Amino acid sequence: MIDRQIFADVLIEGLDDWVPIDQLIWAAREGVKGRPWKAFFAELLHFLLENDLIQIGELAAEGFSPWKGEAGEVVQLVLDDLARLSWEPKLGSRAWIANTKAGDEVARSLIDC
C-alpha cells in the first residue's frame, strides 16, 4: 500500500483543475528520497489508476479526453510518452491527470487531516 501523503498534493490540486504529469513525477521523486524513482513512479501511477482515483488523458479543445485501456496499458502509454521526452514533461507531455469522484473524496479527506 502506498502512503496517501505521497500523492496527497496531486489529488488536492486535482480538485480544482487538471494536473500536469510532472506533479506526479515530483511526488514519486520525493516519495523515494534519493533512491531510483522511475520504477516507483510507474508503481504509483498504476496504484492511482487501479484504485480509480485518477484518469490519465490529454487536453483538447473540448476539455479533458481520458485515455482508454486497463491500468497497465495506460501506465505504459505514459512511460512511453515520458521516455520520448527524456523524462522532461515540460517539453510537451500529452499526459494530464484528472481526479475521479473517488479521487476527489480522498483529496477532501486529506485536506481535513
Structure confidence at residue 53 (pLDDT): 98
Element (H, E) at 60: strand 54-60
| pTM metric for this prediction | 0.93
Tell me: the pLDDT tens digits for 37-56? 999 999 999 999 999 999 99
Residue 112 DSSP SS3: coil
CA distance 98 to 113: 22
Which stretches of the chain drop beneath a pLDDT of 70? 91, 112-113
Structure confidence at residue 60 (pLDDT): 87
- Rounded to 5 degrees, φ, ψ at 68 are -90, 155
Nearest to 103 by CA among 3, 39, 7: 7
Residue 96 DSSP SS3: strand
Output helix, strand, coil percentages for the chain, rounded to the nearest 5: 55, 15, 30
Element (H, E) at 58: strand 54-60
Structure confidence at residue 113 (pLDDT): 60
CA angle, residues 83, 103, 9, in degrees to nearest 5: 65
